[in-house]
A and B are shown apart, each in its own frame.
Chain A
Amino acid sequence: MGRPILELHNISKRFGALTALRDLSFHIGEGEVIGLLGDNGAGKSTAINLISGIHRPSAGHLSVDGHETLFTCRNDSAEAGIETIYQNTALVDSLSITRNIFMGRERCSAGGMLKLAQMREIAMEVLKSAVHISGIDSPDMLVGDLSGGQKQAVAIARAVYFKRRILLLDEPTSALSVRETEAFLNQVLKLKSENVSSVLVTHNLYHAYQVCDRFVIMSHGTKVFDVPKAQTSIGQLTEYVVMT
């Protein structure tokens, strides 16, 4: 697998008396898909929020491309090429796909007027090349008219267009149908082939096993197991998630 592009070094996170993360270290390689697994309360979501800049570590640090760094807000992580795609994707239902893809990063002329035709063309191209979920036939469709899987496809298309290197996928399949899940997992693999890394947080070990190269299992705020796919099985992963 490629060189590590993001590393967590001995990260701890405390919320008052509660210790959510304890001495957590792992790395994400270039073009690598990591399954971040663990039972409820293991600290997966805190870890994701920390990587995306929503939380700051109480101790320890992150490095990007080997350089120590600190994310103080969402924009910092976005600048480092990290995009978080939540179960509830950050899209506006009442706007078109094009406007959602370019939301906050509009292509404008000098006076701030939108270059709608140009954005529409790019959106169409992105939807065609990056997103393989059918049913999205026009970038003018309102996001509110899309299904859960299609919405996620749009969120991913946005991440791909803006050249994200790492996608943080927090329970992305929990609201999807079986078909949508398959299409979604296919997308993760396609992005991997284009050297985009992903961190997949899920309760569904079968989904994780389908696409991940490596598994990081967390329990009580720390890492208890870190294993490449070739050296483990679903049975062993289940055991670790349940028993630790």
Chain B
Amino acid sequence: MSTVSPSLPAATPPPRLHRRSALMRLISAPAGAILVAFLLLQLACITYALIAPDDFRYLSARNLTILMKAIPVLGCLALGVGILMIAGEFDLSVGSIYTLTAVVMAVQVAGGLNPFLAAGLAILIGVAIGILHGWITLRAGLPSFIVTLGGLLFWRGAVLLYNGAVQVRFDPGPVFSDLFGGTFLGVNAAFWWFLALSVAFFFLLHRHRFGNHVFATGGNRSAATAIGIDVGKVKIAAFAIAGGMAAFAGILATVRVGSVQPGQGTGLELQAIAACVIGGLSLTGGRGSVLGIFLGAMLIHTITNVLLLLRAPGFYLDMFIAVLIVGAAAFNSLIERKGRG
């Protein structure tokens, strides 16, 4: 029986592991880069707002209230879309689900249904549509991009089929309005919901078995299958969460505005994906963090807000976000390539 010489040194690690600086490590962490970008932007905004409070009303109570009301809708959509992206799939239909479920809820409440039951119904419809999209995607072996592109158009049409092209007023009574649109400890209730859901998603994705399976499914589907994870179930659950969160975002938006427009929510799905990409989620799945999604949504709205405060013309907003998305995606792919060595 021969033995291999025990005096041989074991394989040495690639030296780059030791040379990485603390900053480099922070930036390569899933949400590190966006955290740095977000803090720098906040620092710049707050400094400028303190120097010139009349020109740049970033810190005024009114502006902060506007900001806090605007963020949760996109934020909740992005949380759902994000978990699905980490599982390796896309959902382009969340904007349409958001509108459809909001219209159903508003019409039902106008018809006399208890608003809490109507909201539950809306979330249930969102979840059901998500499951349907997931089922078609897996069953037919299609890219989810295509299936949910179909969903985007189909459910947008369903809105008009259900209630025509008319605006629906939403008057759920004070309890419901306070719970989803009131103010608590000086902070908008919708923002509290967004914070609470972000914390819940953090635990689900980073501290729960399900989250581990989501990362495994998106990161290496065949490895996850080989180890015995039911990747189909994981993906369907992620689709359901994306649908449910779209419906929840619809509830927050409807309470805030007090009505539903059948044309609202167009383009929101892309903004949600943008928030995820800016937050460091990989387009191929398996990589990302709830902190990244949270900051991605915050960053989009902060930048929008800053440009508005600087009285920049509207088209700058889109152009700026566009540059941010492409830049963030390029940066992510650079980090991923480096990670692979």
Residue numbers of A with Cβ under 8 A of B are: 74-75, 78, 89-95, 99, 102-106, 108, 111-114, 116, 132-136, 141-142, 144-147, 149-150, 176-177, 179-180, 182-183, 185-186, 189, 209-211, 213, 229
Contacts of A141 in B (CB 8 A): 17
Partner of B223, one of A91, A113, A147, A182: A91
Interface pairs (13), CB distance under 8 Å:
A89-B223, A90-B220, A93-B339, A103-B212, A106-B212, A108-B209, A114-B208, A145-B17, A145-B339, A147-B13, A182-B4, A183-B8, A211-B4
B105 → chain A closest CB, angstroms: 30
A142 → chain B closest CB, angstroms: 7
Instruction: Decide if B224 touches A92 in the complex (CB within 8 Å).
Output: yes
Instruction: Decide if B13 touches A136 in the complex (CB within 8 Å).
Output: yes
The CA-CA distance from A232 to B209 in the complex, in Å, is 50
Question: How many of B's residues come within 8 Å of A, CB to CB?
Answer: 38
Contacts of B9 in A (CB 8 A): 134, 179
Contacts of A182 in B (CB 8 A): 4-5, 8, 11
Contacts of A135 in B (CB 8 A): 10-14, 17
Residue numbers of B with Cβ under 8 A of A are: 1-6, 8-14, 17, 203, 207-210, 212-213, 215-216, 219-220, 222-224, 226-229, 282, 286-287, 339-341
Instruction: Decide if B10 touches A132 in the complex (CB within 8 Å).
Output: yes
Instruction: Decide if A92 touches B220 in the complex (CB within 8 Å).
Output: yes
Contacts of A177 in B (CB 8 A): 11
Contacts of B208 in A (CB 8 A): 111-114
Given contacts A78-B228, A106-B209, A183-B11, 13 further A-B contacts (CB under 8 A): A90-B220, A91-B223, A92-B286, A99-B215, A104-B213, A113-B208, A114-B207, A114-B209, A135-B13, A141-B17, A142-B339, A211-B2, A213-B1
Instruction: Decide if A95 touches B215 in the complex (CB within 8 Å).
Output: yes
A27 → chain B closest CB, angstroms: 19
Closest to B288 in A: A94
The CA-CA distance from A95 to B206 in the complex, in Å, is 11
Contacts of B207 in A (CB 8 A): 113-114, 116
The CA-CA distance from A183 to B5 in the complex, in Å, is 10
- Identify which of B213, B223, B287 gathers the most chain A CB atoms within 10 Å of its CB: B223
Closest to B211 in A: A114
Contacts of A229 in B (CB 8 A): 1
The CA-CA distance from A243 to B282 in the complex, in Å, is 50
The CA-CA distance from A37 to B43 in the complex, in Å, is 64
Q: A92-B215, A112-B210, A179-B11 are in contact. Are A185 and B222 (CB under 8 A)?
A: no
Contacts of B2 in A (CB 8 A): 209-211
B334 → chain A closest CB, angstroms: 14
Contacts of B13 in A (CB 8 A): 134-136, 146-147, 150
Instruction: Decide if A183 touches B10 in the complex (CB within 8 Å).
Output: yes
- Identify which of B2, B208, B227, B282 gathers the most chain A CB atoms within 10 Å of its CB: B227
Contacts of A103 in B (CB 8 A): 212, 216, 223-224, 227, 229
The CA-CA distance from A78 to B225 in the complex, in Å, is 13
Q: 5 tightest A-B contacts by CB?
A: A135-B13, A92-B219, A90-B223, A104-B227, A180-B11
Instruction: Decide if A75 touches B228 in the complex (CB within 8 Å).
Output: yes
Instruction: Decide if B228 touches A147 in the complex (CB within 8 Å).
Output: no
Contacts of B17 in A (CB 8 A): 135, 141, 145
Contacts of A185 in B (CB 8 A): 4
The CA-CA distance from A136 to B11 in the complex, in Å, is 10
Closest to B210 in A: A112
Instruction: Decide if B6 touches A186 in the complex (CB within 8 Å).
Output: yes
Instruction: Decide if B209 touches A92 in the complex (CB within 8 Å).
Output: no
- Identify which of A90, A102, A133 gathers the most chain B CB atoms within 10 Å of its CB: A90
The CA-CA distance from A111 to B209 in the complex, in Å, is 9
The CA-CA distance from A93 to B228 in the complex, in Å, is 17
Contacts of B286 in A (CB 8 A): 92-95
The CA-CA distance from A132 to B12 in the complex, in Å, is 11
A221 → chain B closest CB, angstroms: 25
A180 → chain B closest CB, angstroms: 4
Contacts of B339 in A (CB 8 A): 93, 142, 144-145
Instruction: Decide if B212 touches A99 in the complex (CB within 8 Å).
Output: yes
- Identify which of A111, A114, A134 gathers the most chain B CB atoms within 10 Å of its CB: A114
Instruction: Decide if B223 touches A92 in the complex (CB within 8 Å).
Output: yes
The CA-CA distance from A78 to B229 in the complex, in Å, is 13
Contacts of B287 in A (CB 8 A): 94
Closest to B213 in A: A104
Instruction: Decide if B212 touches A133 in the complex (CB within 8 Å).
Output: no
B233 → chain A closest CB, angstroms: 12
Contacts of A134 in B (CB 8 A): 9-13
Instruction: Decide if A147 touches B224 in the complex (CB within 8 Å).
Output: no
- Identify which of B2, B12, B17, B226 gathers the most chain A CB atoms within 10 Å of its CB: B226
The CA-CA distance from A177 to B339 in the complex, in Å, is 19
The CA-CA distance from A210 to B215 in the complex, in Å, is 39
Contacts of A91 in B (CB 8 A): 220, 223
B87 → chain A closest CB, angstroms: 12
